[in-house]
Amino acid sequence: MCIEDKCIGITIRLNLNPKEQCMEKNKLIFRVKGNEEGMKLRAYLKDVQKLSSRLIKGAALDGRISVNNNRVKLNYVIKLDDEIAFDVEKKESQNIEPEKMDIDVVYEDSDLIVVNKQPGMVVHPTKSYPNGTLANGLLYYFKEKGEQCIVRLVSRLDMDTSGLIIIAKNQFA
């Protein structure tokens, strides 16, 4: 997809295994415009594309940044029409056991899920409530659908409160 000379392509691969790990492979592609020429790659990614320093540093150390299909260092000086590819790869896991339970799904798409939490249910495991939580149920729900990723709560509610909770399905949602 290209908008105003900024091309972004996102693909997702899942590494399905019993430990509830999710491997996401995301490739961001940017094309350098005239007013950006002469910048160092690090500054371009941080200041123009608004990527975090930590994300940039990690990708650079792993060799996941390329310009015109060539691996480069962060001090590379970008040129007009350079194509910058930034692979974001993140392996994540949680120590939460999936549990079968009824989940009231109100809305779901490829990026997020909204569920109606009933009163009396804890949102995520604690020492006092290691299981029977919404997070346990969501992991089971995702596993049954072949979407074995971690639970990323965007909002949460107290145990005795009912209402809608938003859960992101990926790190970019």
Among 47, 81, 104, 158, which one carries the catalytic annotation? 158
Integer Cα distance of 88 and 60 in angstroms:
10
Give the tokens for residue 67. 């310009």
What distances in angstroms separate CA 104 from CA 77, 116, 146, one per listed residue? 52, 5, 18
Closest listed residue to residue 74, CA positions, set 47, 33, 42, 39: 42
Tell me if residue 111 is catalytic: no
Active site residues: 158
